[in-house]
């Protein structure tokens, strides 16, 4: 039996932080050997908010290098850049024409980002989830490993699949309905400056997040300044202490210890003892990723060859799905 397929991606907007790592990439690494995997750098999504043309290409390479540095294994996975496979943009157009406008205006992330941007919100921001649906559906992915904040977009993808198959499938499932894979721990890493807000690349404060490429000095400073509470004794799951829960969860994930082990270890600790422990654990956990990242970035030829191979495999599959979709919709195919 052939393996089930996975597709996921990260936007090349700014540095990757611990939320991206624990919500997405670490999970990709852990399960990759059981699946056929497609991991893309979603650079078309990156321009749905104002972007810097001078850094876009380099940022995309940097994210691809981070995938490798975090442990994505080319034996199981293809890594590619979304804009290198033009079928993504083309399928988006076809799906746009069967997606009701109110499905998109209802999306939580759209509402939040649109509010942040104020006036002149681009059509691309509204259309973001349809492009994401196209990413997933081109590869007929069975599973999509993401953080909690992307669940609604995958539900929308499933609605688009149902609508497409109903309208054009003639009883056949032309498109496959994907399932989200969201792990409980790390699905929603919170900001260091406010434990009720998600850690996010777009937070104006650098102190709110730890990036995978932060230096030991930056990590030390951010943890020293992070928000805590006046209580002694650290516990998980107290709704009155969101920062405490978040920092303990980060420690658990970075140290590889179980929840019970961390609960026992930290039950009597104060912040003065915990913060240096978290700092050291974070620095040690990120060091091997940072070293591998540097090695990959120093070998541009290798990175380019990875992306070329990834694109070739991705494109073959994407074009075949795109042709099935076009046939179902009644298009003639190029001769």
Distance CA 28, CA 228 (A): 31
Please identify, using beta-carbon distances, which residue of 212 and 303 lies nearer to ligand TYM.
212
Dihedral of CA atoms 197, 201, 206, 207 in degrees, nearest 10, equals 30
Does 62 contact ligand TYM by CB under 6 A?
A: no
Residue 226: phi and psi, rounded to 5, are -70, 155
Asked whether the beta carbons of 286 and 214 are under 8 A apart, the reply is yes
Least gap, CB of 170 to ligand TYM (angstroms): 27
| Structure tokens given for 255 | 């140290």
Name the segment binding ligand TYM (CB under 6 A); options: 118-126, 147-155, 159-167, 238-246: 147-155
Does 195 contact ligand TYM by CB under 6 A?
A: no
Does 42 contact ligand TYM by CB under 6 A?
A: yes
| Cβ-based burial of 233 (10 A; exposed 0-12, middle 13-18, buried ≥19) | exposed
Listing from the earlier edge strand, what are the strands of the sheet with 77-81? 77-81, 36-41, 5-10, 143-145, 179-181
4: Cα within 13 Å, side-chain hemisphere: 14
Please identify, using beta-carbon distances, which residue of 150 and 255 lies nearer to ligand TYM.
150
Please identify, using beta-carbon distances, which residue of 96 and 265 lies nearer to ligand TYM.
96
Asked about 201 being catalytic, the answer comes back as yes
Paired sense of beta strands 77-81 and 143-145, if any: unpaired
Q: Which listed residue (10, 79, 85, 91) binds ligand TYM by CB under 6 A?
A: 10
Does 254 contact ligand TYM by CB under 6 A?
A: no
Does 24 contact ligand TYM by CB under 6 A?
A: yes
Least gap, CB of 22 to ligand TYM (angstroms): 6
Q: Which listed residue (72, 95, 187, 317) binds ligand TYM by CB under 6 A?
A: 187
Does 150 contact ligand TYM by CB under 6 A?
A: yes
Dihedral of CA atoms 116, 81, 68, 302 in degrees, nearest 10, equals -140
Does 180 contact ligand TYM by CB under 6 A?
A: no
Q: For binding to ligand TYM (CB under 6 A), which residues are involved?
A: 7-11, 19-20, 22-24, 42, 45, 132, 135-136, 144, 146-147, 149-150, 187-189, 198-199
């Amino acid at each position: 039996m052939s393996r089930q397929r996975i597709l996921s991606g990260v936007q090349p907007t700014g540095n990757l932080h611990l939320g991206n790592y624990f919500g997405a990439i670490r999970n990709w690494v852990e399960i990759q050997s059981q699946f056929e995997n497609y991991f893309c750098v979603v650079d078309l999504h990156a321009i749905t908010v104002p972007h810097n043309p001078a850094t876009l290409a380099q940022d995309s390479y940097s994210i691809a290098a981070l995938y490798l540095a975090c442990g994505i294994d080319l034996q199981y996975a293809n890594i590619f850049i979304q804009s290198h496979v033009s079928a993504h943009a083309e399928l988006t157009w076809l799906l746009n024409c069967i997606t009701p406008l109110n499905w998109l205006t209802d999306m939580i992330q759209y509402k939040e980002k649109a509010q942040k941007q104020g006036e002149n919100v681009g059509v691309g921001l509204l259309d973001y989830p349809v492009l994401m649906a196209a990413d997933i559906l081109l590869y007929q992915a069975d599973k999509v490993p993401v953080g909690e904040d992307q669940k609604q977009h995958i539900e929308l993808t499933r609605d688009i699949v149902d609508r497409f198959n109903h309208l054009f499938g003639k009883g056949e499932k032309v498109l496959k309905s994907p399932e989200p894979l969201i792990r409980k721990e790390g699905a929603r890493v919170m900001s260091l400056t406010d434990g009720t807000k998600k850690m996010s690349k777009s937070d104006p404060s650098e102190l709110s997040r730890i990036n995978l490429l932060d230096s030991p000095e930056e990590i030390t400073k951010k943890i020293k300044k992070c928000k805590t509470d006046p209580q002694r004794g650290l516990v998980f799951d107290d709704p009155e202490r969101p920062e405490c829960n978040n920092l303990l969860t980060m420690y658990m994930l970075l140290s590889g210890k179980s929840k019970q082990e961390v609960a026992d270890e930290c039950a009597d600790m104060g912040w003065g003892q915990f913060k240096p422990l978290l700092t050291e654990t974070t620095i040690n956990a990120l060091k091997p990723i940072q070293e591998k990242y540097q090695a990959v970035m120093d070998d541009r030829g290798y990175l380019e060859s990875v992306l070329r191979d990834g694109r070739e495999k991705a494109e073959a599959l994407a074009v075949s799905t795109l042709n099935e979709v076009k046939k179902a919709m009644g298009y003639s195919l190029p001769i």
